[in-house]
A and B are shown apart, each in its own frame.
Chain A
Amino acid sequence: MLAVFKPHNAVITGIGELKPSMDAGDKTSLDLLGEAAALALLDAGLHKTDIDGLLVTPPSEDSYFLWPSQVAEYLQFSPVFMNMVELGGASAAATIARAALLVETGICRHCLCLSGGIWDKHVFNTLEGKMAVMSQAEIDYDLPYGPMGFNSGYALIARRHMHEYGTTPEQLAKIVVDQRSNALANPDALFRKPITVADVLSSPLIVDPLHLLEIVRPCSGAAAVIVSRLPAYAGTNHDPVYVRGFGEAYTHNSIAYAPSLTTSPIKLASRRALQMAGIEVKDIDFVALYDCYTITVLISLEDIGFCAKGEGGRFVENTDLTYAGSLPCNTHGGQLSCGQPSFAGGMSHVTEAARQLRGEAGARQVRKNRRALVNGNGGVMSTQCCLILGRE
C-alpha cells in the first residue's frame, strides 16, 4: 500500500466572495471573477504578481474554450501553472485539493482558485440550456422521457430513500429550515426570510417529493480562494487555515447508472479525506456540505458517518444544524439560502469554513472551530471532493 500523502504546508491565506445576485447588470463572468480575485488578494495582503498558480472552474453559460487562458488574459495573470477543473459542483472544492498539491510540491507559492459567473435564465430554461449539461447518453436515452435537469435526479434519490428508510418530507424540510436560520445571520444571503417546516411543505411541489424551497436557486456571483505554501504567507493578514486532507470518489455520471441511489461516493471520498488528515468523524466540529437540494445534505451526513445509513431523517430531526447547534451545517445558510452562483456555489462552502476557522464569522460564529469538513458534489451525487480544513 502506498504511504498516505499528508499535506503540511498548504494554507488558505485569502478569501474573496461577491454577494450573490439575481441581476449582475452589465458585468461579464470575467468581471465577476476579477472582482472576487481582488477581494482575495486584499484579504491575503498579497499582490497580483505574487500569484503563480491559477485554477479555474467553468463559467455558467459562457463559452469556456481555453477558459484558464481567457481568465489569465482578461485579468493579466502569468502563472507558472494553470488549469480548469470540471467536476460540476465538486469543481470548487477540487481546485483547493489541486492547489494544495501544487504548493506542497513547491511548484507554486500562491495558487489562486477562481470560480463563478453570470447566470442567464434565457439560456438556462431552454432545451439547449438543458442539453448543454447532458451527456450524449442522457440526450439519447433519457431526454425523451422529460427529466427536469438535476431536479428529477435528486427527486428519484429522495423517493428511494423514503422507500428504503421511511424518511419523511418533514425531516428533509428541517434541513433547509435550520440553514435558513443560519442565513438570518448572514447579510450576504439571497434569501433571508425565516421559514418553518410547514412553509417548506406548502411551497409548490416541483418534482415530487421535492418542494420549491428544497431546490437551489441559480444566480450570479463569484468566489476566490488563495492557497499558499508555508511560510510564504508572511505578508498576509489572517491566521492561516490549513488544508489537512482531501479525498475524492467517482462511480457514475448520470444517476440512472449509479450503483446505488441512497449511498453516494461521498462515503469513500470522506474516508479518504479523514484518513489523509489522520482524524475521525468525531473530530469534526462543523460541516459545510454541498446543498443543491435538501436530500443532498441528508445523504452526505449519512455517508460521512455522522449517523448510520438510513438514520439521516431522524438525525436531522433531532439535531440542531444551526451555527449555535451541536453539528453546525452550512452556517452561511448554504446554497439553499445564498443561491447558486454557478460553480462558485461550491466555493461558498470553502469560504464559509475558512471564515469560521479564522473566527471571523461574526454573528454566526460557531463555538468549536478547530476542524471542518467541506464537501463538493457534482452532477447527481456523481463527482465528490471532501476537504478537511483546520486551524492548526
Chain B
Amino acid sequence: MADDRQTYWQYISTGKLGLQFCPACQKHIFYPRGLCPHCLQSGLEWKEATGRGVLYSYTIVHVSALPDFSSETPYIYVLVDLDEGVRIPSNLIDCHLDDLKVGMPVKLDFIERQGKDLPVFKPAI
C-alpha cells in the first residue's frame, strides 16, 4: 500500500482523523494522494482534523447488495463537509432517522467494522 494510504489508516488506529495539507496551496486535501491535486507538487503534510463538520447530504439505504451491509439496513450513508474545507463520505451513527437534517452539525467518532477502526460521524449536540 502506498505511503499516503498507510498514513491515513495509521492516524485512525490512534483514534484520530488525519488529513493531508499542501503548504504551497494552503489547502487541505481529501482523499490521500501522492501529490497535491491543485499544484501537482509533492511535499504534502499530514495534520490532525478537528473532527467537526456539517452534514452536506445523506441517504437512508434500505436495500443493499453489499454482503457486509445487506443485513444492516436501514443505515445512513452521508457526505460530511469538514471544517477544514474538504468533503468526505461516511456513515452517521447514533441519530434517529426523524432527527436527520441536511446542514446539521456533526462530529467525529469511530466504529469497528470487519476488525478495522473506521471514522464515522454522529450528531454534535
Query: What residues make up the interface of A, taking CB atoms closer than 8 Å to B?
Result: 125-127, 130, 137, 140-149, 151-152, 155-157, 159-160, 163, 204-210, 254-257, 261
Whether A156 contacts B57 in the complex (CB less than 8 A), given A145-B89, A145-B91, A146-B91, comes out as yes
Known interface pairs A146-B68, A160-B56. Does A152 touch B61 (Cβ–Cβ under 8 Å)? yes
Q: Are B113 and A148 in contact (CB under 8 A)?
A: no
> Is B63 in contact with A130, judged by CB distance below 8 angstroms?
no
Are A144 and B57 closer than 8 Å at their CB atoms? no
A-B contact count (CB 8 A): 95
Q: Is the CB of A141 within 8 A of B31?
A: yes
Complex contact A206–B62 (CB within 8 A): yes
Residue of A125, A144, A145, A163 touching B65 (CB-CB under 8 A):
A125
**In the bound complex, do residue A145 and residue B63 qualify as a contact, i.e. CB atoms below 8 Å apart?**
no
Q: List 30 A-B contacts (CB under 8 A).
A: A140-B5, A141-B30, A141-B89, A144-B113, A145-B89, A145-B90, A145-B120, A146-B66, A146-B69, A146-B75, A146-B77, A148-B61, A148-B63, A148-B65, A148-B66, A155-B59, A156-B57, A156-B58, A156-B59, A156-B77, A160-B56, A204-B62, A205-B60, A207-B61, A207-B63, A208-B59, A209-B59, A255-B79, A256-B88, A261-B56
Assuming the contacts A130-B66, A147-B89, asked whether A207 and B72 have C-beta atoms less than 8 A apart, the reply is no
CB contacts (< 8 Å) of A147 on chain B: these are 77, 89
- On whether the beta carbons of A159 and B59 are closer than 8 Å, the reply is yes
B52 within 8 A of A: no
Docked complex Cα distance between A208 and B61 (Å): 6
Whether A163 lies near B102 (C-beta < 8 A) is yes
Bound state CA distance, A255 and B79, in angstroms? 9
Q: Measured between alpha carbons, how far is A208 from B103 in the docked complex, in Å?
A: 17
Tell me the complex Cα distance, A255–B89, Å.
9
With contacts A140-B5, A142-B89, A204-B62 taken as known, whether A163 is within 8 angstroms of B75 at the C-beta atoms is no
Contact with A along B6-39 (1 / 0, CB 8 A): 0010000000000000000000001100000000
Residues in A whose Cβ lies below 8 Å from that of B103: 163
* Chain B nearest CB, measured from A87 CB (Å): 20
